[in-house]
A and B are shown apart, each in its own frame.
Chain A
Amino acid sequence: TQLLEQSPQFLSIQEGENLTVYCNSSSVFSSLQWYRQEPGEGPVLLVTVVTGGEVKKLKRLTFQFGDARKDSSLHITAAQPGDTGLYLCAALPSGTYKYIFGTGTRLKVLA
C-alpha cells in the first residue's frame, strides 16, 4: 500500500508566523497536488506540481516538489487566520490513474 505521510499532524501558530508542512512517501509520483479543506466543505485544489524540483508560488504559499518526485512541501509566509484549515496532499503514483490522499495537516492561525 502506498502511503502519503504528512507532518506535522497539527499546527497552531500566531498570525504573522511562517510555517512549513511536509508530504512524504517512499513511492515515486507522476504528479502531486495540495488541497485546503475548511470545516463542512470539500477540499479545494491549491496547486498541482508535476516536475521534480518544481517550485510554484501562490501569493504567500510556496509549493515544492522533491527532485525525486517522492515528497513535497508547502511553505506559508506570514500566516493569516484565513489560512486556517486542513491541508491535504494528494499524489498520482506512476502508472496509475488514482490519486491517493495524505493524512492531512490541521492548521490553526490565531489572530
Chain B
Amino acid sequence: EAGVVQSPRYKIIEKKQPVAFWCNPISGHNTLYWYLQNLGQGPELLIRYENEEAVDDSQLPKDRFSAERLKGVDSTLKIQPAELGDSAVYLCASSLAGPQETQYFGPGTRLLVL
C-alpha cells in the first residue's frame, strides 16, 4: 500500500515569491494534517482536515498561508508571499478517522527561502 505522497521534495525560492506544496494521503484516510518542522525541532500542526472541512486551523498564519482539500482527498498548502523565516520542512500526514488514530507521515517538502 502506498504511503503519504508529497511533492515537491525540495523547493528553493526567493523571498516574496509564492510556493505551493501538494499532498496525497493514504487511500481511505479521512483526516489530513499539515505540519511545519523547523530544523532540530518537533513538528507543529498548521491545519487539520476532516474530509474536506478544516476543523483546526488555529496555528495557520492566515495572512500568508492558505490550504485546501478539495473533494476530501488531495490537499495543497500555499504560501504567498514567502518570507525567509518560512524555510523549514512541511510535513503532511493522514489518519483513518480523527487524531486518535495513528498518523502516517509523508517524507516532507524541504523549503529554502533565499
The yes or no verdict on A and B being binding partners is yes
- A residues bordering B, Cβ < 8 Å? 4, 31, 40-45, 48, 88, 90, 92, 97-104, 106
Contacts of B43 in A (CB 8 A): 43, 88, 101
Which of B's residues lie within 8 Å of A, judged by CB?
4, 40-45, 48, 56, 91, 93, 98-100, 102-108
Cβ contact within 8 Å between A98 and B48: yes
Excluding A41-B105, A101-B44, 7 further A-B contacts by CB distance (< 8 Å) are A40-B107, A42-B106, A42-B107, A88-B43, A99-B45, A99-B103, A100-B45
Q: Which residues of B contact A100 (CB under 8 A)?
A: 45
Q: Which residues in B have their C-beta under 8 angstroms from that of A106?
A: 40
Question: How far does the Cβ of A51 sit from chain B's closest Cβ, in whole Å?
Answer: 15
A42–B40 CB distance below 8 A: no
B93 to A, closest residue via Cβ = A42
Is A45 within 8 A of B107, CB to CB?
no
Chain B residues within an 8 Å CB radius of A98: 45, 48, 56, 99
Residues of B within 8 A of A4 (CB): 42
Whether the Cβ atoms of B107 and A103 lie closer than 8 Å is: no
- How far is B103's CA from A108's CA once the two chains are assembled, in angstroms? 25
* Best-surrounded residue of B40, B42, B93, B103 (most CB of chain A within 10 A): B42
Q: Which of B42, B93, B99 contacts A88 (CB 8 A)?
A: B42
**Residues of chain B contacted by A103 (CB below 8 angstroms):** 41-42
* B99–A99 touching, CB < 8 Å: yes
| Cβ 8 A contact of B98, one of A43, A97, A101 | A97
CA distance A105 to B3 in the complex (A): 25
Instruction: Find chain A residues with CB under 8 A from B44 CB.
Output: 101
Q: Pick the residue among B42, B56, B91, B100 that contacts A90 (CB under 8 A).
A: B42
Tell me the complex Cα distance, A77–B103, Å.
27
